[in-house]
Amino acid sequence: MKWRALVFVLATTAFCLGFGDGVRDQSLREAARASGMLIGTAVRPAQLSEAAYASTLAREFNMLEPEDVLKWETVHPEPQTFDFSQGDEIVDFATGHGMKIRGHTLVWHQQNPKWLTEGKYTSSELAQILEKHIKTVVGHYRGKIFAWDVVNEAFDEVRPGRLRSTIWRDQPGIGLAGNEVASSHEPRASSAPARSELEARSSQQSYSYIERCYRWVHEADPQALLFYNEAGAEVVNPKSDAIYAMVRDFRQRGVPIDGVGFQMHIENLRADVASISANIKRFTALGVQVQITEMDVALPVDPNGNPRPEDLQQQADIYREVANACLSHPGCTAIQTWGFTDKYSWIGSHSKHTQGAALLFDRSYAAKPAYAALRDVLTTGRR
């Protein structure tokens, strides 16, 4: 029957053009080719055996990052034990699909094993432990992981612009105490340095522990790009001001740092894109790359985890505007989402299941309006 054949041809043509499943002919990674952007996502190895997860990941992204399995509690579960099995699974997947790999993260105050946090180490013991950790993990992935989030979230949430008090900084820290004692015993009187010099010195001392970490990573893999990664510093604010001062100082003194990662976890459907853009501009002007490292846009959800349909478009607009802000600065080199399917996202447990649906694909791997918005920008956005 002729009409049946016609319907079949029309239907398959429509499907191939992508009208059937909401995904058009180009994937994100294909769209990103023209602009040279890296388009990445956080990955959980347990899900790689799920066909839809693996095929979507390989089709859509040219970069990935282990969401949790390179954190201390997984990769260094006992003082003398390193476990790279889950990290290696992700790295093998990426290598097999021609994807770049970001490493996350070497120095953080969360997801650390008890042997470390409850170990009552002295400052110098802790420094040795951290140096060994960094050199072992970075060494294992040398030549495979192209960029590391060396230090994550070192600046404080509540005291604007100040460093967070952590096991690495001052409990006992890996060297701060030594520095402070040394400077407080310095002779003052006639040879006293100028006030501005003292201020500069004291702020350098306060993040000297961070500097040591960058130097250790660089020794372990001189080719790797070294990032500082932070939450809540996407816009121009006291936290990003403090990071800016640190990065500028590192660049001036030759401390190896190549980039800054802005996490971009967006809540309440609010994003000050003008300020995000101004912030990207000032950081890239320092000669470092900026990457958006953990983007998600959380929506309020009902007890079944479903968002309001009208919020999906607003969510898409935020993805579009943030991606545009990145693409309009040549030094902004990557957009990475924190997972890609609403089936697996940290937002649910993080928000006690009041928010969710934060990613580009729904729980059945169907592309959402945010997906189309992001792909449009990657296809047509300025570079």
Q: Is 50 a catalytic residue?
A: no
Q: Is 66 helix (H, G, I), strand (E, B) or coil?
A: strand
Which residue has 């001392």 as its token pair? Answer: 205
The answer to whether the CB of 325 falls within 8 A of the CB of 290 is no
Nearest residue (CB) to ligand XIL, 107 versus 127: 107
Which residue sits closest to ligand XIL, CB atoms considered? Answer: 346
Phi-psi domain of 47 (left: phi exceeds 0; alpha: psi -120 through 50; beta: other): alpha
Least separation in angstroms between residue 68's CB and ligand XIL is 5
CA distance 33 to 112: 37
CA distance 54 to 61: 11
CA distance 260 to 25: 33
Binding site for ligand XIL (CB under 6 A): 67-68, 152, 231, 263, 294, 346
CA distance 54 to 24: 19
HSE (CB half, 13 Å, CA atoms) of 347?
30
Least separation in angstroms between residue 71's CB and ligand XIL is 7
Least separation in angstroms between residue 97's CB and ligand XIL is 22
Cα 164 to the chain's mean position, in Å? 19
Strands of the chain (E only): list them.
Answer: 38-43, 63-66, 100-107, 147-152, 225-230, 259-262, 265-266, 289-297, 299-300, 332-337, 355-356
Q: Is 294 a catalytic residue?
A: yes
Length of the chain (residues): 383
Instruction: Give, as one character, the DSSP assignment of residue 101.
Output: E
Least separation in angstroms between residue 67's CB and ligand XIL is 5
Least separation in angstroms between residue 231's CB and ligand XIL is 6
CA distance 269 to 290: 23
Least separation in angstroms between residue 264's CB and ligand XIL is 10
Catalytic residue among 65, 153, 230, 234: 153
Least separation in angstroms between residue 328's CB and ligand XIL is 25
Q: Which amino acid is at 306?
A: N
Q: Is residue 74 reached through a cis peptide bond, with omega within 30 degrees of 0 on the bond before it?
A: no
Nearest residue (CB) to ligand XIL, 230 versus 362: 230
Which residue has 């340095």 as its token pair? Answer: 193
> In terms of Cα–Cα distance, which of 73, 74, 72 is closest to 45?
74
Which residues have C-beta within 8 Å of that of residue 125, sequence separation ≥ 6? Answer: none
CA distance 290 to 247: 12
| Residues catalogued as catalytic | 153, 294
